[in-house]
């Protein structure tokens, strides 16, 4: 018997769409994207340690439109991964396994992540540490 051609779990092809699987996939995707984002963190730290000229270059880059777009995508991904990560921690503690709870916490993660990102954007372009 050829075992290689048997369908393997989780049978994505026959699954009805559910918020749980989408959020799980996005949790991984944001995790990978945030891992790439750590390069920006280290670059920023190295720039700060390298002197005013190097820092000015980094500051200029993060201020360009592409730098800003990247930063805000990373911010949204961070808040999503953070909120959904807390959801995962509750599951690890054995809590929140009712179907209804899955949906409530799932949509809450989206709402909270978007609200936090929006607050960060508003803060950055209005009050945010302007000299």
What is the contact surface with another protein in residues (CB under 8 A)? 28, 31-32, 34-35, 38-39, 41-42, 45-46, 48-50, 52, 55-56, 59, 62, 75, 78, 82, 85-86, 88-89, 92, 120, 123-124, 128-131
Of the pair 23, 99, the CB lying nearest another protein is at 23
Of the pair 99, 119, the CB lying nearest another protein is at 119
- Shortest separation between residue 84's beta carbon and another protein, angstroms: 11
Neighbours of 112 (CB within 10 A): 16
Phi, psi of 95 (to 5 degrees): -110, 150
Annotate 90-119 with DSSP letters as a single string.
HHHTT---SHHHHHHHHHHHHHHHHHHHHH
- Shortest separation between residue 71's beta carbon and another protein, angstroms: 8
Neighbours of 28 (CB within 10 A): 10
- Shortest separation between residue 53's beta carbon and another protein, angstroms: 9
Of the pair 46, 104, the CB lying nearest another protein is at 46
Share in percent of the chain as helix, strand, coil (round to 5): 80, 0, 20
Residue 1 DSSP code: -
- Shortest separation between residue 17's beta carbon and another protein, angstroms: 21
């Amino acid at each position: 018997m050829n075992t290689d051609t048997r369908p393997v779990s989780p049978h994505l092809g026959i699954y009805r769409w559910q918020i749980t699987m989408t959020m799980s996939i996005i949790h991984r995707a944001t995790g990978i994207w945030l891992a790439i984002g750590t390069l920006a963190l280290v670059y920023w730290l190295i720039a700060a340690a390298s002197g005013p000229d190097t820092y000015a270059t980094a500051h200029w880059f993060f201020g360009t439109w592409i730098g800003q777009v990247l930063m805000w995508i990373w911010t949204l991904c961070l808040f999503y991964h953070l909120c959904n990560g807390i959801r995962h921690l509750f599951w690890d503690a054995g809590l929140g396994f009712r179907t209804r709870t899955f949906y409530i916490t799932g949509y809450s993660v989206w709402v909270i992540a978007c609200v936090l990102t929006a607050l960060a954007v508003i803060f950055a372009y209005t009050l945010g540490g302007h000299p």
